[in-house]
Amino acid sequence: MSGYNYAKNPESMFGNDMRILIVGDKGQAGQAMHRTLTSHDVVGYDLPEVDIGEPAAVVRIMEQHEPDVVINCAAYTNVDGCVENFGLAYRANGLGPQNLAVACAAHGIDLVQISSNEVFPGEKAEGYDEWDTVRPINPYAKSKLAGEFNVRSLHRQYYIVRTSWLYAAGGKNFIHTMLRLARQYGKLRVVTDEVSNPTYVDDLAASIAQLIETRQYGTYHLGNAGFCSRFEFAAEIMRCAGLDVPITPILGNEFKRASTPPPYCGINNNVGAAIGIEMRDWRVALADFLETQELKNDQTGHQ
């Protein structure tokens, strides 16, 4: 196997017929990738069928499907749970990407590794650029950085995509929780000192679909444009939903959590924008999501 085989199947790389393998395909991002990549040949796996922390399982699915691109949406995303279960977190978030990178490198397969804004310490009010120095401050973020590190050091055909504050239809997410609490209690208390980019997962999926056609490997920041505090996010959700509830601003230290979130941790999309991959403003994406998904589902009584 050559060290740098540009593409396993160059004929298919720029067409509508890529073979794509998604791992973590039952999660928010995995499902959105399925909805988006309809013009490709897509197959997906998740736990318990395939654990990406298990090298033999990764090799088996690679050999079975011979993909052109692997999109890793699998992760241990329970941020507070990572404090107690760092071993589990590292298995999914560090070792999993390592196994995928080794297998992809052996067969010249492109790899998309989804990472997080939390690799940064959260000290930059103007938001982090792709080239800024990483310094994770909690166990989840450390495991995600390990995943990035492993992919970069073991493979060359990678796209590392950092994103932030994902939300999706039907899932447990901040929007859903705020709407439920507002209706239940008629008031909210929300933190002001946690800032990032709320990101509609379908927008992320559309950008990744664009990215994998480019073969412009590297590190990307793909969140909806602009950032806000959790407090501002909640206020915008209430405004869009037409709910007039008082929201009390509080600080993170008034809200006990096992993990410490990085406070000012927005991400700026410089690299994607330079190759024509732009993401819309978070407020526009949120209004679209609420209109087409969350509030529509509310009216029909579904979640």
Q: Which stretch binds ligand NAP (CB under 6 A): 9-17, 88-96, 121-129, 257-265?
A: 88-96
CB of 77 to ligand NAP, least distance (A): 4
Q: What is the x/- site pattern for ligand NAP, positions 94-133, by CB under 6 A?
A: --x-----------------x-x-----------------
Q: Is 24 in the site for ligand NAP (CB under 6 A)?
A: yes
Q: How many CA atoms lie within 13 A of 112 on its CB side?
A: 35
Q: Is 208 in the site for ligand NAP (CB under 6 A)?
A: no
Site for ligand NAP in 154-193 (CB under 6 A): 163-166
Q: Is 146 in the site for ligand NAP (CB under 6 A)?
A: no
Burial-class residue 59 by CB neighbours within 10 Å (0-12, 13-18, 19+): middle
CB of 117 to ligand NAP, least distance (A): 6
Does residue 140 carry a catalytic annotation?
Answer: yes
Is the CB of 13 or the CB of 120 nearer to ligand NAP?
Answer: 120
- Answer for which of 13, 33, 34, 53 binds ligand NAP (CB under 6 A) is 53
CA dist 41 to 18, 37, 109, 127, 132, Å?
Answer: 6, 8, 15, 36, 36
Q: Is 80 in the site for ligand NAP (CB under 6 A)?
A: no
Residues 46, 299: Cα–Cα separation, whole Å? 31
Q: Is 224 in the site for ligand NAP (CB under 6 A)?
A: no
Q: 45, 128, 140, 200: which one is catalytic?
A: 140
Which amino acid is present at 25? D
Output the 3-class SS for the chain.
Answer: CCCCCCCCCHHHCCCCCCEEEEECCCCHHHHHHHHHCCCCEEEEECCCCCCCCCHHHHHHHHHHHCCCEEEECCCCCCCCHHHHCHHHHHHHHHHHHHHHHHHHHHHCCEEEEEEEHHHCCCECCCCECCCCCCCCCCHHHHHHHHHHHHHHHHCCCEEEEEECCEECCCCCCHHHHHHHHHHHHCCEEEECCCEECCEEHHHHHHHHHHHCCCCCCEEEECCCECCEEHHHHHHHHHHHHCCCCCEEEECHHHCCCCCCCCCECCECCCHHHHCCCCCCEHHHHHHHHHHHHHHHHHHHCCC
- Answer for which of 13, 22, 23, 33 binds ligand NAP (CB under 6 A) is 23
Is the CB of 13 or the CB of 30 nearer to ligand NAP?
Answer: 30
CB of 174 to ligand NAP, least distance (A): 8
Count of residues interacting with ligand NAP (CB under 6 A)? 27
Q: Which stretch binds ligand NAP (CB under 6 A): 90-98, 148-156, 252-260, 271-279?
A: 90-98
- Answer for which of 29, 100, 151, 209 binds ligand NAP (CB under 6 A) is 29
Nearest residue to ligand NAP on Cβ basis: 27
Q: Is 47 in the site for ligand NAP (CB under 6 A)?
A: yes
Is the CB of 187 or the CB of 257 nearer to ligand NAP?
Answer: 257
Interface residues with ligand NAP (CB under 6 A) are 23-24, 26-29, 46-47, 50-53, 73-77, 91-92, 96, 114, 116, 144, 163-166
Q: State the catalytic residues.
A: 140
